[in-house]
Amino acid sequence: MANDPITASVHDLINSTDPEAAKLLTLEGDRQETTLELIASENHASPTVMHAMGTCFTNKYAEGYPGARYYGGCEHHDEVERLAQDRAKELFGCAHANVQPHSGAQANAALFLALLKPGETFASLELSDGGHLSHGLKVNMSGKWFSPVHYPLIRDEASSGFETIDYDEAERVCMEHKPKLIMCGYSAYPRVIDFARFRAIADKCGALLHADIAHIAGLVATGVHPSPFPHCDVVTTTTHKTLRGPRGGLFLTNDDEMAKKFNRALFPGMQGGPLMHVIFAKAIAFGEALKPEFKSYQQQVVANARALAEAMIGCGYRITSGGTDNHLMLVDLQTRDADLTGADAEKWLEQAGIITNKNGIPNDPRPPKLTSGLRLGTPALTTRGMGETEMAEVAGLIDRVMDARGDDAKLAAVREDVRALCARFPLPSVGSTVGA
Ligand code: DSN
């Protein structure tokens, strides 16, 4: 906490009136400072972005869009929202941006409301193969009110594309079911997405093409992963993962009609007042992402993921699809120890100060609450300034945790080494160039 004087003074302010709440802020600050964050969807936003959310922009209702609000007093909110829109458009090279979605899932829900009627068919990758719950999981609105069909991964172990998207099968599924929309973009997929191939499939079967780039947005914004434009009709993303902004969602398109439909679907269709304090922080985060050092950061994220995957392979773990092209990987724990579950691994790692999430792997024999895999991502460690050398160190720490098999003393020893590593790479401080 001492690393960030503004958080420290915010803490003092809260402590003066609500010590109970202030204590929680201290604990969470310390947890983040002293643990290794390897959850692929998390990051450490800069102090500027974090503190932008604690400003007077939170006090305002600004229902509507810039220049067409339902409340008075929105002049500066119009400017803030336009600034965020303009920076988002510049960042992703497109004509329209809606910066109001509260999250990626909200953006996807609004997309369904905008483009599909209840019961209509769309194609996506299943959650268990690396997709997302808002891409047609039965318990999600997308799966309850609409009709998902799923395209698969390549299941043939002998194929060089084992566990990557089976584009031929995707074409067959789409030609058979003629979905109105094809979704691509995933939550646990370590390889480059061939947007041009999906465009060809969409054209052949007469579907709209949507990319959910929530995970890879930072890579896309800097050219480290190919862009969904000009191939995709519509794009949704979150703003807080590799993009390293505030927690939120974003919609992008080049198509005037799609933009109009989405804007109406989001407000008044789904959401009420926009979170203007978050939109203020989005504008600032997009400004950070437009700086040259953000590209070096994203390149290092990918280099670190490759180094971590190689080091994990060196310790005897199989990485699904054989490696990674982006910021994340799926570790198949069964290859290290047939009895090891993702649930146990996640729990033991957390005890040692290494924060991960259990994750199903393709064809996982275990249920989602157990799993046989771990998802590891490098965005947050890279933000702390770690490089390939530290990735080898992190793999060694993970392996020691697996060896310890829940032994408290051994886990406590790893915890101390994790603390020492974190101390060498403090969280971004005010004014620092984070992770460049
Ligand atoms: N829950 C996010 C993830 O961890 O990938 C996706 O929304």
Q: Give 251-288 pLDDT, tens digit per residue.
A: 999 999 999 999 999 999 999 999 999 999 999 999 99
Write down the pLDDT at residue 382: 98
Structure token pair of residue 394: 């992190």
What secondary structure does DSSP assign to 78-133, as a single string? HHHHHHHHHHHHHHHT-SEEE---SSHHHHHHHHHHHH--TT-EEEEE-GGGT--G
Nearest CA owner, ligand 1 atom 4: 41
Which whole number is the average pLDDT over 124-133? 97
Q: Which residue has the tokens 């024999």?
A: 365
Substitution site in 128, 132, 237, 247 for ligand 1 pocket (most atoms within 8 Å of beta carbon): 132
Helix runs in 342-387, H state only: 342-351, 379-383
Q: 215 near 41, Cβ under 8 Å? A: yes
Q: 251 near 107, Cβ under 8 Å? A: yes
What is the pLDDT confidence band of residue 431, given thresholds at 50, 70 and 90?
low
Give the distance, in angstroms, between the CA of residue 97 and the centroid of all CA atoms in the same chain.
Answer: 18
Q: What is the mean pLDDT of the chain?
A: 96
% of the chain residues with pLDDT over 70: 98
pTM assigned to the model: 0.97
Which whole number is the average pLDDT over 276-305? 98
Whether 379 lines ligand 1, by a CB cut-off of 6 Å, is no
Q: How many angstroms separate the CA atoms of 434 and 47, rounded? A: 10
The CATH homologous superfamily to which domain 293-424 belongs is Aspartate Aminotransferase, domain 1 (3.90.1150.10)
Q: 35 near 354, Cβ under 8 Å? A: yes
CA-215 nearest atom, ligand 1: 5
The answer, yes or no, to whether the previous bond of 268 is cis (omega within 30 of 0) is yes
Whether 41 lines ligand 1, by a CB cut-off of 6 Å, is yes
Nearest CA owner, ligand 1 atom 6: 187
Catalytic residues: 61, 63, 212, 238, 241, 247
Class of domain 56-289: alpha beta
Q: How many angstroms separate the CA atoms of 100 and 275, rounded? A: 7
Nearest CA owner, ligand 1 atom 1: 41
Report whether pLDDT(178) > 80.
Answer: yes
Q: How far is the CA of 104 from the centre of ligand 1 (A)?
A: 9
- Residues 63-120 have pLDDT tens digits of 999 999 999 999 999 999 999 999 999 999 999 999 999 999 999 999 999 999 999 9
Q: How far is the CA of 281 from the centre of ligand 1 (A)?
A: 20
- Residues 136-170 have pLDDT tens digits of 999 999 999 999 999 999 999 999 999 999 999 99
For the chain, residues classed under CATH 3.90.1150.10 are 293-424
* One-letter identity of residue 262: F
* One-letter identity of residue 362: P
What is the pLDDT confidence band of residue 436, given thresholds at 50, 70 and 90?
very low
CA 41, 42, 47, 50 dihedral sign is: positive
For the chain, residues classed under CATH 3.40.640.10 are 56-289
Whether 218 lines ligand 1, by a CB cut-off of 6 Å, is no
Whether 104 lines ligand 1, by a CB cut-off of 6 Å, is yes
Query: Among 1-15, 308-322, 342-356, 369-383, which is the least confidently predicted range?
Result: 1-15
Substitution site in 187, 237, 355 for ligand 1 pocket (most atoms within 8 Å of beta carbon): 187
Phi-psi region of 363 (alpha: psi -120 to 50; beta: other; left: phi over 0): left
* E strands, 218-309, in order: 234-238, 249-253
Structure token pair of residue 339: 């009895």
Structure token pair of residue 97: 């941006």
Q: 59 near 252, Cβ under 8 Å? A: no
- CA end-to-end span of the chain: 21
Q: How far is the CA of 215 from the centre of ligand 1 (A)?
A: 8
